[in-house]
Every structure is written in C-alpha cells, then in structure tokens.
Structure 1
Amino acid sequence: MNTTIYYFSGTGNCLKVAKDLSEQLEDAKIVKISNKNMSYLKDTQSDAIGFVFPVYFLGIPAMLKSFIENLQINNDAYIFAIATYGGSIGAPFKEIRTLLQSKNIELSAEFAMMMPGNYQVLYPPVSPEEQTKLFKNEQEQIKSIASAVKASQHVTYKVSALINAFSKPLYSIFFKPKEKDKYFWTDEQCNGCGICSQVCPANNIIIKEGKPTWTHQCEACLACLQWCPQASIQYKKSTVNRGRYHHPEIELKEFLEREIE
C-alpha cells in the first residue's frame, strides 16, 4: 500500500512520529506541512494518507486546516490521523472529519498519542524522566498504529460529549495564532544566526539588522523559541526562566528537510 504521511511540527515530536510510522510501513513517505508546501494541492496517487499533528487549544493547527481544505484527495484512499498532545486531547478528529466530509471523504482511523508538552508560554518542559517514559510509549503505540494502517482498519477515538461540545468554542476564543507573535522578543544572547527564520513553518520571521522580526503570520508552534541555540527568544516574561524543548532524536538539519520537490 502506497502511503503518504503529512505532518505539522514545531518541535520535532510529530516529525518523529511520522518518521517512525513510515519505517513500519512498506511503501511510505513523509512530507512536511509548511508555507513552502501549501501550494501542493493534489494527492490522488496515494492508497493511504495520514495526517500527524499537535493539538493546539483542543483543536488543530491553522495551517493543517488550510492544507486539508486545499488538498485534492482520492475518494477511495484510506485516511488516518494521529494527534499528539501534552495535556487534554480535545476534539481534533471531529474537526478533521468535518473538513474531509466537505470533500465526501471519510476519516477512517483516529489515533491519539501523548508526547512531551512544549507550550513553554504556559508551563516548563516535562522532566527528562517523563520524556523518556513518553518516548517509550510512542514506540509501542507506533507498532499498533502501523498494524491498523496496514490492515486498513477503522478506528474511532472516543471523547466525551462535553469535550465535543466545548472544544470548538474554547478553540475559537483562545486560539488566535496571528496575534501571538507581537509578544516575542530577543534578549542580549541573540547573535542573529537566523535559525528562528529557518525553522518557522509559516515563513513568519525575517532578520533585520541582525535581529528577528515577526510578521504576524504566526502559527503559535513556538519553533523559533524552541530551536534557538542561544535560548534568546522570549515570549513576554513567561519564558525567561523556563527551559526549552525539541525532540532529542531530531536534528536541526532533518527538521528543516521534507519540503516537496
């Protein structure tokens, strides 16, 4: 079965999940969802298509929503989704089902996977011990997910009626990513290396006079903050004394790859 896995990632968590899953499948490739790939509008060749993404404020990243809306998909394809989350899973699959139903396509399988939370705007990174535990669980879950995908199984992830009812209103109220970047700033450790601009999936950062400038197309993924080698990017005062996180098995070079040729 020919499988394409599209992933959105700010810290490498979803890249790791997509990569591990692709290695378990016989004929699979992975593709990054980013501003550079938003013009990729057609995939009618894949027998199976997967979307791997982090949960943002109980919902899905804005760029993932746009990508799915614009992607032309084979109606007979087996479609699956993997949501990674650090706190509450919310109801992201409901939103993806709605997006696909507008194309008369079914979401065949839904999988949720807890990974290290990385929204340092609100909380510090989880401990190394907890990270190790979550990484081990990810490896076990990937085996189960791969088996389900190979067999084209239908899998529904059940959430409570309360979460289904309140996730969308809360998401609409609190998730306004383009407004977030006005609160980013750099401390005296910034050396103008430009890595923040390179890792941003939205191409939202330009370097002016040796310092990053955010252009208000933010996805709120915090890639800029997490990958800065000097830990010099801050969000308000919240992150000044907080650690940073990106998946320890994902190198910067690999994170920057996976654009569609």
Structure 2
Amino acid sequence: MKIFYFTSTGNSLYVSKKIKENFEECDLVKISRELDEVIVEDEKIGIVYPLHSFGLPIIVEEFIKKMKFNSNPYIFVVQVTGGGKSNNGFYKINEILKKKGVSISNYEEVKYISNYIRAGRNPSKERAIKAIEDSEEKLNDFIENITLDTIKEFKKRKNQITFLIHDLWRDKYKKRDKNFNVNDDCINCGLCIDSCPSNNIEIVNGKVKFNGHCVDCMGCINICPKNAINIGNSTIRKDRYLNPFIKRDELIK
C-alpha cells in the first residue's frame, strides 16, 4: 500500500502518518514535480492533500494526471482544509481517475485551521493542536472504514462558481511569488529550497531568488527558521505555522 501526499506545513503529512500507523505495509510518497510517471500496482492507495483555492493543489492535479494503473485498486482520498469546505477537489480527482478506468472508493474531508498566511493570520500552536484533536475522532472513523475496504458511493458534484475561481487561480494567477522578498535575517540555510515542491527557489550570489514557478503553497515562508521570507510587508508581523506534531526535517525533500 502507498499513500501519496502533498504537504507544505505538515498537516497532510500528519494525516498520512496517522493512516500509516494502522497498516503493516505502507509507504508514504511525497508528491512533487520531481516525481516522474507513477505506475500503480498496489491493491490499495491513498491520496492526501490540502485544499487550495476551493480545489486541488496544482502539483497534485499534475501528479494524478501522470498516474497509470495496472489494476483496479481501492483508492481513498483525504482532503485537509483550513476550516473551509469544497467538493471540487474530490470531483476533480474522480474525473481524472475515471479517464484511467478507476475511481475513488472512499473519501473524507478533515478540517483544521487555515495557515494560508497570504490571506490571513496563522493559528497559534494551542489553537492548531485543539483543531487537530477536534478532528481526531472523524479521522479515526475514516481509518477504520478504509481498513475494512468500505466503499463510500461517490455522489459529489462540483460547485460551478468555486470551480471557476479555482481555475482562474490555477491558470491566470501566474506571478504568485511576485512580491516575495527576503530580509537580512536570512542565514542561507536552504530549507526554503529543500521544501519547495516546484523547484522554484535557488541561492544566487548569496541571495535567495524566486523564479516565477510558485504554486502558492506557502511552504517556504512557514518553514524559514528566521521568518526572513515575506510577501511584501503584509506578512512581517504574522506568525508562521508548522503542524505541531511534524518536525521541520520531515518537510524537506
């Protein structure tokens, strides 16, 4: 069994690790642009991801389109949100999978607290822990269901308005790192480079440089140990967020 997960601040990794604890043989595979075509031969696989702009993260959609199936596995999907709700991620995954002759077998949405620092303030560690604890029973029930290969009929429909918003965000909002900047607190540790899923960051002449391929995951901003990365001036006084049960070194490549 394999669980393919996409994470920037650790929430989806936390969920993936909780699921893994319940299976004797289970590999966790981090989704990034470095993954080539994946041929699925397992009888059971999982896909775990955060909700991005009412839908799938860009890299998750790219990855699922590259998947090939040699069988008809039990496929479970977990969508981790910051408190919002949308069926569009599930719908889009199932739409892609059906073209490959497979479909979602079971799915669940787990709600924590938003850590999208571009648009709001990150939660305190205490609030983050409480949100995780509040969702633990729901997650445990889902884990029990997938250990029993329970089938959950897929009846989700897309929301046309939020589907359009997501498509505009994905396809038209190209300069996501336009206002990213790095102050003098930077120590050139390279964590931003190692955590970036799209290979968008490099160090040139001792300075961190963003190359215009940002997927808006906020990973680099949150993982920086010196809070040196900001979006204009809007994030300078905002707390950074990492899942309180995940270590920094678990989020790098």
- The normalised TM-score by structure 2 is 0.93
> Could you tell me which of 104, 107, 111 is aligned with 1:110?
107
Alpha-carbon distance in 2 for matches of 1:199, 1:126 = 21
- Please, which runs of 5 or more residues in structure 2 have no aligned partner? none
Alpha-carbon distance in 2 for matches of 1:233, 1:70 = 32
Query: What secondary structure sits across from 2:178 in the alignment?
Result: helix
Match for residue 169 of structure 1? 164
Alpha-carbon distance in 2 for matches of 1:5, 1:81 = 9
Instruction: Work out whether 1:48 is the aligned partner of 2:44.
Output: yes
Alpha-carbon distance in 2 for matches of 1:207, 1:116 = 32
> Could you tell me which of 71, 94, 97 is aligned with 2:67?
71
Cα 1:205–1:251 shift into 2, 3 Å: same
Alpha-carbon distance in 2 for matches of 1:74, 1:134 = 39
The AA in structure 2 aligned to 1:168 is F
> Could you tell me which of 190, 194, 201 is aligned with 1:194?
190
Match for residue 200 of structure 2? 204
Alpha-carbon distance in 1 for matches of 2:2, 2:118 = 32
Query: What secondary structure sits across from 1:143 in the alignment?
Result: helix
Alpha-carbon distance in 1 for matches of 2:239, 2:215 = 21
- Please, which runs of 5 or more residues in structure 1 have no aligned partner? none
Alpha-carbon distance in 1 for matches of 2:174, 2:27 = 30
Query: What secondary structure sits across from 2:72 in the alignment?
Result: coil
The AA in structure 2 aligned to 1:72 is K
Aligned-residue CA RMSD (Å) = 1.8
Alpha-carbon distance in 2 for matches of 1:26, 1:137 = 26
Does the 8 Å CA contact 1:75/1:104 hold for their aligned counterparts? Answer: no
Q: What's the offset of the Cα at 1:208?
A: 0.8
Alpha-carbon distance in 1 for matches of 2:200, 2:108 = 30
Q: State the 4+ residue runs in structure 1 displaced beyond 4 angstroms.
A: 156-159
The size of the alignment, in residue pairs, is 251
Alpha-carbon distance in 2 for matches of 1:157, 1:120 = 32
The AA in structure 1 aligned to 2:162 is S
Match for residue 238 of structure 2? 242
Identity of aligned residues (%): 28
Match for residue 153 of structure 1? 150
Q: Deviations over 1:52-71 (max 9, x none)?
A: 00000000011111111111
